[in-house]
Structure 1
Amino acid sequence: MRLLYALLFCFVTAPVWAQLAAVTRVEMPIDPNSSDAYSVWPLRDRGALLVYQHEEPYGQVGFKYTFSRMDTTMKPRWKTDFNLKAHFVPISEFTNNLYRFQLFTEPGTENIQIIRLNLDDGTIDIFEGKLPSPIDLTHFRVMGNVAYLGGYFHDRPLVMGFSFFDATTRVFQGLYMNNIEIGSMDVDEYRQEVHVLTHSPKKRCQFTVRSYSPDGKPLRTIEYDGTQYSLISGQILPISAGESLLIGNYSADCTPYSQGIYVTRIQHAETGKMTVATDHGEAIRYIDFSQLKNFFNYLDPRRQQRVLARVTRRQNEGKNVKFRYRLLVHELIPTAEGLTLVAEVYYQQYRSTNTIYTSGNFSTNQATRQSRQVEQYQYTHAFLCGFDKQGNLLWDNCLPIKDIESIRLTPKVEVMHQSDYVVMAYPDEDKVHSQLIRRDSVLANKELFTLKPRLATERFTNTAEPVVHAWYGSYFLATGYQRISNARGGSAVPRDVFYLAKLRYDTPKNHLPAPTQATRTTDPDH
């Protein structure tokens, strides 16, 4: 009977009604022994920007960049080159609707260089300048003709505005303090403001939102101090002329381990300094992970049942169950209803290292100290939360991530909104996992699509650095590096390429079945 139930369940949820399909594939040959690199920036229905970086070993040029824009059919529109001065290194980039900006610095000096690439025709403007001192830059945004640079000088945070007109630099006030870290820096073109979110891990985990005018004049400071929990990250999304939502994750003990997500509203009409210590009035709404319907759907049915039973038992006893996770929160996605928050859950895997050090200035006695370094990140699942414009939680869902490890902590899951449906996808070597959901229901559960070579006589022997981008409409763009060999044991020489694959995800609404709760309704013995 259990086997029959399992077979029936698998049949009901079999993803036969919507899936990924290959449309076009483009390959760029590469030399596997070089340090050359490609990257791709989707531009929605305007196509995509392909960036090729080639390191020049000698001479006055450090890197040669080739920028080329493709349309949505993956045909080239324009191509342009840029030679970066020797000793300069790339730091960060920023893209808006009109331009792509790239920031370069000369290590150990105050020198910076910013290029502005016109996405319509490929023309490049170059802006050079000097910072007040050598600064470790970590944040980069552009609004209008000002670049906003955030970073650290002697372990204290700094934010500056660099003018493209006259190469002058203006330092923002109120940030250069001890034990303060920059959580995020955003430009608000809707109101022409710059928001800097900071937190203090050593000062009661104080969380502060500072807003500035484009020329660096302080507008308002909101200090979330004395709240029930410690706010550890946040993002601001405008919802009206005078109001925004602040959303992020929080912890119970001022650590990087999140206990849930929070949302609160910010009134922009007010100016000046405001100390906010509210868990009442216009309250901060805390949403514990156990309050989400589908957060634990990444677990196998038996383990999920045990976790949910524990939550129910503790709630009946009037107690809370505290779950602690590390979160990689994506940029907020505006929707017609309000917004979608996407976050990936991960944990760190460490390796131990032995460091030999000498005690004292003149002693010859040596000792060995063991330390731990992060070796890679293991992803477990991603979750989505839909909010309305008042900050009310409307729905949540979950995508399990199996056996994905990375030496860099970067987003893996892409989210595409299609009318009432949401497609979630992530890469796994030469495969793409996807899942179709509608609010808190799963319609197509963990579909698997395998990329194919252009010729039937070829095969992939290795895939590295795969990425999936939500592109435009119903299309995804998959990229990465691959080694291609002859599939039939012929004499063809293996070749290495950087690939771009256009994929389509169709959701024929007239064939979609009724929504099902995928894992919570399964037989625990299945």
Structure 2
Amino acid sequence: MPHARNLLTLLFSLILVPLWAQEPTQPVRLELPFEPEDVEVEVIAFPDSSLLVYHKTSNPWETDATFHFTKYDSQLEEVWTDTANIAPDSDYIRYYTAEPFTYLVFGSDNLRDYTFIRVHNKTGNIWHKKFNLDPLEDIYEYKVLHGNYFIIGRNRKDGKSVLMHLNPLSGEANLLPSVYGEQSSFSDLLADAGQNRVDAVITESNGRVSRLQVKSFDANGKLLNNYFIIQKEDRNLLNAEITPGDTTEKMLIGTYGTRDLRFAQGFYATPLASRVVEGNFYSLLQLRNFLKYMKPRREERTRRREEKRLKSGRGPGFHYRLLLHDLIVTPHGYILAAEAYYPQYSNPRNSSLALDFDNRPYRLPDGIKRTHAVALGFDKNGILLWDNMFPLPGITTFELTHVVEVQRLSGGRVVMAYPDNNKIIYHIMDDYRYNDEKTELELLTYDEEEKVQYTSQAGIIRWYGNSMAAFGFQRIKAKGANFRSVFYVNKITF
């Protein structure tokens, strides 16, 4: 029987652990009797401090499947549960929450068919409908404004990114004017309900220089405004996140490069209304902690080398690719997080080759390796207040996805965390003050004498207040009892 259990007794029994008061607590845990090979699970945080757990059970041939949706409160007690009757071959892609609903999209074996589900966060009422979106063969991102869907996906004809508007009531779907150039792509998509508009940030490039374009649409997909952001000097705007608010308040915060458009040389913030970058540029050398993932002597040598290059008139030697996170809005400004990464290749003779949409061969990386993650705090005028860093040694993924979760805590501190088997590796940032101490937390089970044999598909998401939700599959051995396989959710409070 699935249930949550209070872990305070176990916590108090461990009160003598050194520095315990400084560690996160795990006040409650939920266990569901799921086997990883039998069920697909997703955990989604609701704005009201509750969680939605979606899981799909099906037969091996996917000719029969049940799609379950269950809401749990902040103490991981069940609030409501329901099911959706959709095609058995449907597979979860993404979600978006805009009170009072959470919207989920599912793909199918037919790449043109997509099913959208709308769940009422409070009551659990479920609406769903299948659409044939012929121009798309994948969905990367989508947002919802007044019940209308704005979808970024891959065009099946040429493989380029496109923006689509979908009216779920009428079923009408139209491609919106957006990306044109060969090397253009979407940088951000923001549904700003307060301003009744959707903002799409587009990076445009001809291979030598790049610029940003922001297109604003109303809920019906009508183009309201088009902003071309022109940069000054030898700085190319690589990408940006856009802030909510009216046109006079909106900011673009992102990264810029110089000669090589693949690599970031720093961060910038600029008002959208200016249409010309009159904002603030901060090179990576100016940041206090960006290079702290290196050992001190290596950082010192790197800084000396880069300063000499700049004095001699040469371009920077930095080669950092940065994957941006969604912007975090704070009472006093914004927090932008990013992960530094690089593709890792084996011996070129053994590397895999693929063909792009023009039948040109290119090498496939063996993985995407991270070096570190950074967070930068800006005020509402785009002035950099602080920067900090979280080392990510040895973390590699096969796809370019976020590996850390970022959350602002009460009092202004920021926590970054990622799962590592049965542990959570985390780092708490207090403005620009950098602490190189490695901090980790072992996930607790119901009983301190239980042993976790293995953990798989582990994840962590920001939840509410100072709490995150850690989850995954575990095989657990209790003393004098048989093994049990569960899907767990642990509340982690910092």
Decide: shared fold, TM above 0.5.
yes
2:327 counterpart (305, 324, 332): 332
Q: How many Å separate the matches in 1 of 2:62 and 2:437?
A: 54
Q: Mark the runs of 5 or more structure 2 residues left unpaired by the alignment.
A: 1-17, 355-359
Give the match for residue 22 of structure 2: 18
CA distance in 2, matches of 1:394, 1:226: 23
Q: For 1:37 and 1:19, how far apart are their aligned partners in 2?
A: 31
Matches within 5 A, 1:31-70: 31-34=35-38, 36-58=39-61, 61=64, 63-70=65-72
Match of residue 379 from structure 2: 388
Q: Shift in Å at residue 120 of structure 1?
A: 0.5
Q: Is the 8 A contact 1:157 1:177 kept in 2?
A: no
Provide closer, same or farther for how the CA distance between residues 395 and 356 of structure 1 changes in structure 2, counting only shifts above 3 A: closer
User: Aligned to 1:233, which of 239, 245, 248?
Assistant: 239
Q: 1:256 to 1:313 in 2, by over 3 A?
A: closer
Partners of 2:26 and 2:117 in 1: how far apart? Answer: 35
8 Å contact from structure 2 (residues 35, 473) kept in 1: no
> For residue 57 of structure 2, what is the amino acid of its counterpart?
H
Displacement of 1:118 after TM fit?
Answer: 0.7
- CA 1:419/1:240 → structure 2, altered by over 3 Å: closer, same or farther? farther
In the alignment, is the contact (CA less than 8 A) between 1:294 and 1:396 conserved in 2? yes
Task: Name which of 298, 305, 311 aligns with 1:310.
Answer: 305
Once residues 200 and 47 of structure 2 are traced to their aligned partners in structure 1, the CA distance between those partners, rounded to angstroms, is 28
Post-superposition CA distance 1:171-205 (Å, at most 9, x none): 32354665533333221212111222223444543
Alignment size in residue pairs: 465
Question: Cα distance 1:242–1:206, how it changes in 2: closer, same or farther (>3 A)?
Answer: closer
Amino acid corresponding to residue 265 of structure 1 in structure 2: P
Cα offset for 1:246? 0.6
The alpha-carbon deviation at position 72 of structure 1 amounts to: 0.5
Shift, 1:236, TM fit: 0.7
Distance in 1, Cα, partners of 2:370 & 2:224: 39
Q: CA deviation at 1:66?
A: 0.8
Name the CA distance, whole Å, in 2 between partners of 1:266 and 1:221: 11
1:417 aligns with 2:409: yes
| Superposed displacement of residue 384, structure 1 | 1.0
- Name the SS of the counterpart of 1:84 in structure 2: coil
| Higher RCO structure, 1 or 2 (CA under 8 Å, sep 6+) | 1
Shift in CA distance, 378/494, structure 1 to aligned 2, threshold 3 Å: farther
Mapping 1:81-480, distance limit 5 Å: 81-108=83-110, 110-131=112-133, 133-151=135-153, 152-155=155-158, 156-173=160-177, 175=179, 178-202=182-206, 204-225=209-230, 227=232, 228-240=234-246, 242-267=248-273, 278=276, 283-314=278-309, 321-351=316-346, 353=350, 372-408=363-399, 409-442=401-434, 445-480=437-472
1:331 Cα deviation after fit: 0.5
Shift of 1:153: 4.0
SS at match of 1:436: strand
**RMSD between aligned alpha carbons?**
3.0
Residue deviations 1:64-110, cap 9 Å, x none?
22111110111000011113214444333212232111123445564
Q: State the partner residue of 1:273.
A: none
| Conserved? CA contact 2:279–2:382, under 8 Å | no
Indicate how the Cα distance of structure 1 residues 86 and 475 shifts in structure 2: closer, same or farther if over 3 A, else same: closer
Q: Quick check: 1:495 aligned with 2:484? A: yes
What SS does the aligned partner of 1:391 have? coil
Q: Is the 8 A contact 1:435 1:442 kept in 2?
A: no
Contact 2:369 2:394 in 1 (8 A): yes
Q: What amino acid is the match of 1:473?
A: G
Which residue identity does 1:248 align to in structure 2? Answer: G
The secondary structure found in structure 1 opposite 2:469 is strand
Measured against aligned partners, the alpha-carbon deviations of 1:361-398 in whole angstroms (never above 9, x if no partner) come to xxxxxxxx996422322222111111011111111111
CA distance in 1, matches of 2:179, 2:418: 38
> What letter corresponds to residue 117 of structure 2 in structure 1?
I
Q: Distance in 2 between matches of 1:240 and 1:354?
A: 49
CA distance in 2, matches of 1:115, 1:356: 38
Moved more, 19-28 or 165-174: 165-174
Contact preservation (8 Å) 1:212, 1:220: yes
- Counterpart CA distance in 1 for 2:271 and 2:70 is 41
Question: Displacement of 1:453 after TM fit?
Answer: 2.6
For residues 313 and 178 of structure 1, what CA distance do their matches in structure 2 show?
36
Distance (Å, rounded) in 1 between the aligned partners of 2:77 and 2:323: 34
CA shift, 1:136, in A, is: 3.6
Looking at structure 2, the residues matched to 176 and 320 of structure 1 have their Cα atoms a distance apart, in angstroms, of 30
- Return the offset for 1:258: 1.6
Q: Which amino acid aligns with 1:84?
A: I
Gaps of 5+ in 1: 1-13, 269-275, 358-368, 506-526
Higher-Rg structure is 1
Q: How far apart are the structure 2 equivalents of 1:133 and 1:101?
A: 21
> In the TM superposition, what is the alpha-carbon distance from 1:316 to its structure 2 partner?
6.1
TM-score norm. by structure 2 comes to 0.85
Letter in 1 for 2:396: E
Please tell me the residue identity of whatever aligns with 2:210.
C
Counterpart of 1:299, as a letter, is M
Identity of aligned residues (%): 25
Query: Structure 2: how far apart are the matches of 1:254 and 1:118?
Result: 47
Distance 1:141 1:311, change over 3 A: same
Shift of residue 329, structure 1, vs aligned partner: 1.0
Classify the secondary structure of the residue corresponding to 2:291: helix
Q: CA offset at residue 26 of structure 1?
A: 1.6
Q: State the shift of 1:262 in Å.
A: 1.8
Cα distance in 2 for partners of 1:458, 1:16 equals 21
Higher deviation after alignment, 305-314 or 340-349: 305-314
- 1:481-520 matched pairs, under 5 angstroms: 481-486=473-478, 492-505=481-494
Structure 2 CA distance for partners of 1:64 and 1:230, relative to 1, 3 Å = farther
Offset, 1:440: 0.8
Counterpart Cα distance in 2 of 1:394 and 1:318: 29
Distance 1:59 1:313 in 2: 62
Deviation larger for 415-424 or 210-219: 415-424
Give the structure 2 partner of residue 6 of structure 1: none
User: TM-score, structure 1 length as denominator?
Assistant: 0.80
Deviation sequence 1:211-262 (CA, Å, 0-9, x none)? 1222222222222356432222211102456330011122223533222222
